[in-house]
Amino acid sequence: MTIEELAKKIQGVGLYRNKAKYIIDTCHKLVEEYDSQVPTTRKELMRLSGVGRKTANVVLSCAFGHNAIAVDTHVFRVANRLGIASSKTVEKTEKDLMEKVPKNLWSAAHHWFIFHGREVCKARKPRCEECSLQKLCDYYLQT
C-alpha cells in the first residue's frame, strides 16, 4: 500500500497524512530490522517512525501488558489540576504519577485520567460542579 492509499483509509483521524507516512515507514522497519515483530522495549519502540515516549508507553501498556503511564494532553491536564502531579512538562508529570500511583495501577490510571479529562475535566471548561473529585482537587480548591 502506498502512503497516499493508506492516508485515504485513515483520513478520519487527525494528522492522517503524517500518520500514514509513519505507519508505512514503521512497517518497513519492522520487516527489515525486527523480523516482522513489534519490539517490546521502550527504547526500541522509540526508534520507530513517529513513536515518542507517550506512544511507546501506550504500546507497552495496552499491547504488552507492561506497567506504564502514557501522559497525553488529558492525563497531563487532569493530573496537574488535581495536584497528583505538579509540573509544566510531560516527563516530570509521568515521573510524579509513577511515584504516587501504585505500579500495578499505572495502566488503568492512564485510562481513568483520559476518561475523566474527556468527560468531566475538560480543557476549556472543566465541569467542576458535577465532579466527584472536587474535595481532592487543588485546582477546584484554589479557584
Among 3, 94, 140, 142, binds ligand SF4 (CB under 6 A): 140
| Per CB under 6 A, 134 contacts ligand SF4 | yes
| Per CB under 6 A, 127 contacts ligand SF4 | yes
What does the alpha-carbon distance between residue 92 and residue 61 come to, in Å, rounded to a whole number? 19
Active-site residue among 21, 72, 92, 122?
A: 72
Q: Compute and round to an integer the Cα radius of gyration of the chain.
A: 18
- Give DSSP secondary structure letters for 25-77: HHHHHHHHHSTT----SHHHHTTSTT--HHHHHHIIIIIT--------HHHHH
**Residue 70 beta carbon to ligand SF4: minimum distance, rounded to whole angstroms:** 19
What does the alpha-carbon distance between residue 111 and residue 88 come to, in Å, rounded to a whole number? 21
Closest CB to ligand SF4 among residues 37, 142: 142
| Per CB under 6 A, 120 contacts ligand SF4 | yes
Binding mask 29-68 for ligand SF4 (x = CB under 6 A): ----------------------------------------
